[in-house]
Structure 1
Amino acid sequence: MSTEGLSIGIAVGGAKTAERTSGRHGARWEVLTRRATWAPLALDAAAILLAALDVWLVIPEKAEPYSIYLSAFACLALAARRWLPFAVVLGTVPGFLTGWSQLAAMIALGMLATRRQTHWQVWVGAALVWACRFIQWPLSDFAQLSWREHVLDAIYGVLVAGMPIAIGLLIGARAQLAQKLVELAASRDREQQLRDDAVRAEERARLAREMHDVVSHDITLIAMQAGVLAAAGDPANAQQTAQVIRQLSTRTLEELRSLVGVLRSGAPDDGPHPGIGELDQLVRGCEVPVQLTVDSVPDQLPAKVSAAAYRTVQECLTNVRKHAPGARAKIVILGDGDRLNIEVSNDGPSRPATPLPSGGHGLTGLAERARLLGGSFETAPTSDGGFRVRATYPVKS
């Protein structure tokens, strides 16, 4: 194999390896990068060639050498039009005034208008290009023109200077619009990210409230029953207490499995939740002396309001068992027009409380529920050493 063939084989093999490593997106990005690098250079070369062709087509056979040199310099100066647009316009003026580099001056003025838009340099460049088209060289020939020819040259000068500026302003406005669209898209993405973060935070808080409300009640009962079991001397009572603990543990595990299933699936938790209709069952199994009063409650309550009322009573009874053993509780639920009022109060404890872990999240979760539903939530100690909770929820869905 020849050296050239070996080089080609190595290049092809390296290209295939790079493509496999970077993938289609990397190859596409490389092509776009090369295109972005070579495109401006190709446009600059095309502009120089067009300007040189324009000079070559119109230059007379007996032209002054200096006019040829100035025209050539004007064409070559276009290579720096992206970095020094105003200086390039000034560099094309002598060749346009004394020679034939009109197209070079127009291209330079268009780039200046694209980069600087309505800057004073644009208007100075436009005035110079207009003057080069209006004034003829040598000045002796210019002085011999009639007024009609002066008017026509002035009109043509406006067209020669105005057209590049119009095109440059259009291109610049398009670039600015594209930049604004990019900024708008980035701002929209940031806003969407913030909304997503807020939704995730709200969902985490909702799940935390649900897990606390579901688990805290049953775990407290389990802890209390375990204490009874430890102090029980009668085997029959011990067996009965152990059965209660087993039932509570099973129910708690089922609730936890349900919540974990919601977390794993990512679907909204739209399943059934306990409501006001289950309060009688809750009161019977809470092991706290309770006086329950329900009056003027609408038959059709919004599901979220009914669930919030149930969770409010459940959390309050849990707190009574944990912090005020032996205390009596009073629950009053009244419908008042378009609002549902709930008040749960208890008197002071009659025996010392068994220390149980508590983070204070229950009342915080109830306050968040009330706020999200447009209601209110208040807590305060009572004069007899007890505690009172008042919650209000709107009943209109």
Structure 2
Amino acid sequence: MARREVRAVPFGLALLSLGEVLLRGSAAPGTLAAVLLLALATTLPLALVLGSEGAVRATAGVALSGGGVLALEPFRALTLAGLVAQPLCVYVLGRAGRPRLCGLLLLPYAVIALVDGDRWARVIAVLAVTLGSAAAAAGLSRHARLTALAHSATERAFADTLLEHAARGERARIARELHDVVAHHISMIAVQAETARLTTAGLPAEGAARLLAIGDTARAALTEMRRLLGVLREDADPGVQRRPQPGLRQLIDLVDEAREAAGCRARLIVSGTVVPLDPGVEVTAYRIVQEALTNARRHAPGAAVDVELRYGGEDLTLCVRDNGPGPGAARPGAAGHGLLGMAERAATVGGFLRTGAAPAGGFQVEARLPVRPEETR
């Protein structure tokens, strides 16, 4: 039924109610006028019940129910239209989630059904209570269904948001792993091929050409990977690392690997009391050192590199510095995803990262990470 037709129902009931009163007639004109007013009061407030909200709707419902009670009890003139309007009223209120108001509106009819001595009035009151209760139950049931559907839609939206957040976090994790692990090894291939071509005495021209091709292929792969990382990072939020990763114990192997790959001096310096740390802090420190070594090989090939770990009471300081060219035009890629990824990793464990010129020349990456001993977790 259209909304305009629904709003027209109260006026149709009002006309029907007036027709019923006029057909009955009355001995006294004053009584007839009062009954006519009560007939309107039992139907017209339904228009406000159907077309309003909140306190206006509740007030209209009370007025309609009060008119019906007055028409029934003193005048014995509750019309059929008024009897129909009462269930419609409590149905609308029940659909709006007002169970107490529905019960309050039906309570006077229940009292009349119990205490009134007139048999006809008691029958009408019982009918009003029965129809009203059924209508209220139907309205409340519909309200419950609509509320459940709204909650279900909210839960689905929340689940979709969590799924999207998890997907973005996974893309961020994949981007970091591609940059920190795969790009690290591809960069090492390029450096080793170039080093072998330049340092191997008596290398045939064909062998030199193949090593040069290997280096070019590795550098092209790095370029394509950077494009892929740009796509992954476009809308991926930094995620939390979820799988076990290397820790600080593997740093010596990482430094040895960097020394052999670049053919230059690289050393690991450790100071302070060495204690096992939270795995998240250890993997963050490892990945920062790994990325800093990769940057040093890429932007300062042949430069000596020092990796220093300083264990303190409240934080772990790690510093990777080389004696190559400092920051600026000599390192056009130093502000790319590598430094961004290191800063993101430090921030995920509550630390911070600084980069720039080293005190004695060259470039320096320094990070401070909070110490959380493994045994106190």
TM over 0.5: yes
* Paired position in structure 2 for 1:234: 201
Residue 316 (structure 1) shift = 0.8
Residue 290 (structure 1) shift = 2.5
Identity of aligned residues (%): 26
* Paired position in structure 1 for 2:340: 364
Evaluate the alpha carbon distance shift between residue 163 and residue 111 of structure 1 in structure 2; reply closer, same or farther with a 3 A threshold.
farther
2:170 is aligned, of 203, 221, 246, to: 203
Whole-Å Cα distance in 2 between the matches of residues 284 and 85 of structure 1? 89
The alignment status of 1:275 with 2:247, answered yes or no, reads yes
* Paired position in structure 2 for 1:59: none
Whole-Å Cα distance in 1 between the matches of residues 284 and 321 of structure 2? 17
Whole-Å Cα distance in 2 between the matches of residues 114 and 174 of structure 1? 19
Q: Which amino acid counterpart does residue 306 of structure 1 have in structure 2?
A: E
TM-score, normalised by the number of residues in structure 2: 0.59
Give the root-mean-square deviation of aligned CA atoms: 4.7
Q: Work out whether residues 14 and 44 of structure 2, in 8 Å CA contact, stay in contact via their aligned partners in 1.
A: no
* Paired position in structure 2 for 1:377: 353
1:122 is aligned, of 53, 61, 75, to: 61
1:192 is aligned, of 151, 159, 173, to: 159
1:133 is aligned, of 68, 72, 76, to: 72
Residue 165 (structure 1) shift = 5.4
Evaluate the alpha carbon distance shift between residue 274 and residue 356 of structure 1 in structure 2; reply closer, same or farther with a 3 A threshold.
farther
* Paired position in structure 2 for 1:86: 10
Evaluate the alpha carbon distance shift between residue 114 and residue 170 of structure 1 in structure 2; reply closer, same or farther with a 3 A threshold.
farther
Residue 86 (structure 1) shift = 2.1
- Which blocks of at least 5 consecutive residues in structure 1 are unaligned? 1-39, 41-79, 138-149, 257-267
> What secondary structure is seen at the aligned counterpart in 2 of 1:202?
helix
- Comparing both chains, which one has the higher relative contact order based on Cα–Cα distances under 8 Å and sequence gaps of 6 or more? 2
Whole-Å Cα distance in 1 between the matches of residues 241 and 358 of structure 2? 37
Range with bigger deviation, 125-134 or 328-337 = 125-134
Whole-Å Cα distance in 2 between the matches of residues 180 and 108 of structure 1? 29
Residue 204 (structure 1) shift = 0.7
TM-score, normalised by the number of residues in structure 1: 0.56
* Paired position in structure 1 for 2:364: 388
Q: Work out whether residues 11 and 43 of structure 2, in 8 Å CA contact, stay in contact via their aligned partners in 1.
A: no
Q: Which amino acid counterpart does residue 293 of structure 2 have in structure 1?
A: L
- Which blocks of at least 5 consecutive residues in structure 2 are unaligned? 25-39, 78-114, 226-239
Deviations 1:175-227 (A, max 9, x none): 33432332222222222211111111111111111110112222222222333
Q: Which amino acid counterpart does residue 221 of structure 1 have in structure 2?
A: M
> What secondary structure is seen at the aligned counterpart in 2 of 1:84?
helix
> What secondary structure is seen at the aligned counterpart in 1 of 2:254?
helix
Q: Work out whether residues 81 and 108 of structure 1, in 8 Å CA contact, stay in contact via their aligned partners in 2.
A: no
Q: Work out whether residues 276 and 309 of structure 1, in 8 Å CA contact, stay in contact via their aligned partners in 2.
A: yes
Whole-Å Cα distance in 2 between the matches of residues 373 and 393 of structure 1? 7
User: Number of aligned pairs?
Assistant: 286
Q: Which amino acid counterpart does residue 279 of structure 1 have in structure 2?
A: L
Whole-Å Cα distance in 2 between the matches of residues 297 and 205 of structure 1? 34
